[in-house]
Amino acid sequence: MAKKRTKQRPIRVGVVGVGRGRSFMQAAAATGMELVAICDIWEERLIAEGKALNVSTFVDYDEFLGGDMDAVVLANYFHQHAPFAIKALNAGKHVMSETAACHTLGEGVALARAVEKSGKTYMFAENYPYMVFNQEMKRLYQQGRVGDFKYGEGEYVHPDPPEVKLARSYGRDHWRNWIPATYYCTHSIAPVMYITDTRPVKVNGFVIPFDFADPTQTLHMNRSDTAAVIICRMDNDAVMKSLHGALRGHGNYVRIHGNKGVMENCRHGDKQRLRVWYEPWEKRKSDPVETVYSPNFPVHHGLATRTGHGGGDFFTSYHFAEAIRTGEPPYLDVYRGIDMSITGIQAWRSALNDSAPMEIPDFRRESVRKKHAKDDWSPDPERKKKGQPPSSILGAIEPDAAAKKLASKVWADQGYLGD
């Protein structure tokens, strides 16, 4: 059935956060949205960006929300999205939120309730599922080409020199300096969930501890661990492994084993290519045992190939705009956003408990939500109180004098003069 379109005029959108937020500002026009306002507390950068884009600027989020716009994109701090989303929904705006959707289980409960109450569109801006090889794997999976999902892997490994990391994490208590290694998990988990249409129900978390022999860590202000491995039991009994963090070997890889074949993006050469493998003794006559090819995006191939994160940045804005126009929830709705985000939180609980399994509660159900509404477990330095977890499996880590000296220099060079 054709989708019903309720609006044809451009969707007026405002963006919060002039770091990552810039990619949404740039993608707006290509997806039928009109950027009308931007908001950031870092006034100098805000004004410069506002001038370049010729849009209104706001340092105050409440004033920004009072503006004449239909939708808000949240690219503010990683651990503050849920309260910002709830405020925007209550102000009658559609919301697209960067990763993570929520920083505690209690925030997840409040967010799910707020989306339902508002009747507005909420989209979780996970862009990795929309990379070309992931969209192609979803297409093949839906056609039954590898059978039923049995085991999957998602990998997001992203090391950088200390100067690059410091430039991204200005200020001692910037979120990138204290979120536990399991928390930034959605880039590796989301593609597997998206391709196979499954959700995790249980998680075991493991971390590779802070490495005192690695200068990319010892010259950084980060107080958490090197990387995390998250093992999930999915709702169809399949198993997924997610790996993310700052190990050497930069790359994003996804692999899906079905009971009829396996598919994965290539680890060598052009990594956007897909490899599909069938066992010679059971494959269809028309299928080769092994196929390696460069897939196209299902729609808007030209536009998508010109945007960041392998086209993912185009498709999040595209699906957000489509959801607003049609009134149909996007695939990456609030519940999937919460599932993906709280897996990292529950994995941290697990890692701190010798990797024992933890449930991933399903916040589609109010009876489940009630049990978690007051859960504010977090290592956020601003939420310190008895019972809150550490940022590292090793306990409290204090950056040394060399790290602090380098941090002061890198931060001052980019105009940040705080602590």
**Which residues bind to ligand NAD, rule: CB under 6 A?**
16-20, 39-42, 61, 75-78, 98-99, 127, 168, 309
CB of 345 to ligand NAD, least distance (A): 15
CB of 141 to ligand NAD, least distance (A): 23
Q: Which is nearer to ligand NAD, 204 or 391 (CB)?
A: 391
DSSP 355: T
Closest residue by beta carbon to ligand NAD: 19
Residue 102, burial from CB neighbour count under 10 angstroms (0-12, 13-18, 19+)? buried
Phi-psi region of 309 (alpha: psi -120 to 50; beta: other; left: phi over 0): left
Q: What 3-state class would DSSP assign to 73?
A: strand
Question: Which tokens hold the place of 346?
Answer: 């529950």
Q: Which is nearer to ligand NAD, 140 or 155 (CB)?
A: 155
CB of 128 to ligand NAD, least distance (A): 7
Given a contact cutoff of 8 angstroms between Cβ atoms, the answer to whether 363 and 340 are in contact is: no
Q: Which is nearer to ligand NAD, 125 or 140 (CB)?
A: 125
Q: Which is nearer to ligand NAD, 45 or 404 (CB)?
A: 45
Q: Which is nearer to ligand NAD, 278 or 348 (CB)?
A: 348
Q: How many residues make up the chain in this entry?
A: 419
CB of 51 to ligand NAD, least distance (A): 16
H helix runs in 151-210, sequence order: 162-168, 186-196
CB of 386 to ligand NAD, least distance (A): 27
Q: Which is nearer to ligand NAD, 127 or 350 (CB)?
A: 127
Q: What 3-state class would DSSP assign to 81?
A: helix
Q: Which is nearer to ligand NAD, 63 or 290 (CB)?
A: 63
Given a contact cutoff of 8 angstroms between Cβ atoms, the answer to whether 228 and 181 are in contact is: yes
Given a contact cutoff of 8 angstroms between Cβ atoms, the answer to whether 210 and 180 are in contact is: no
Question: Which tokens hold the place of 303?
Answer: 């536009």
Residue closest to 118 by CA, chosen among 292, 259, 329: 329
Q: Which is nearer to ligand NAD, 262 or 334 (CB)?
A: 334
How many Å apart are CA 49 and CA 43, to the nearest integer?
10
Question: Which tokens hold the place of 23?
Answer: 């990619």
Given a contact cutoff of 8 angstroms between Cβ atoms, the answer to whether 392 and 210 are in contact is: yes
How many Å apart are CA 143 and CA 388, to the nearest integer?
46
Q: What are phi and psi of 308, to 5 degrees?
A: -70, 170
Q: Which is nearer to ligand NAD, 80 or 346 (CB)?
A: 80
CB of 171 to ligand NAD, least distance (A): 9
Residue closest to 244 by CA, chosen among 185, 199, 192: 185
How many Å apart are CA 29 and CA 11, to the nearest integer?
10
CA angle 85, 380, 156 (to 5 degrees): 75
CB of 371 to ligand NAD, least distance (A): 27
CB of 157 to ligand NAD, least distance (A): 14
CB of 316 to ligand NAD, least distance (A): 8
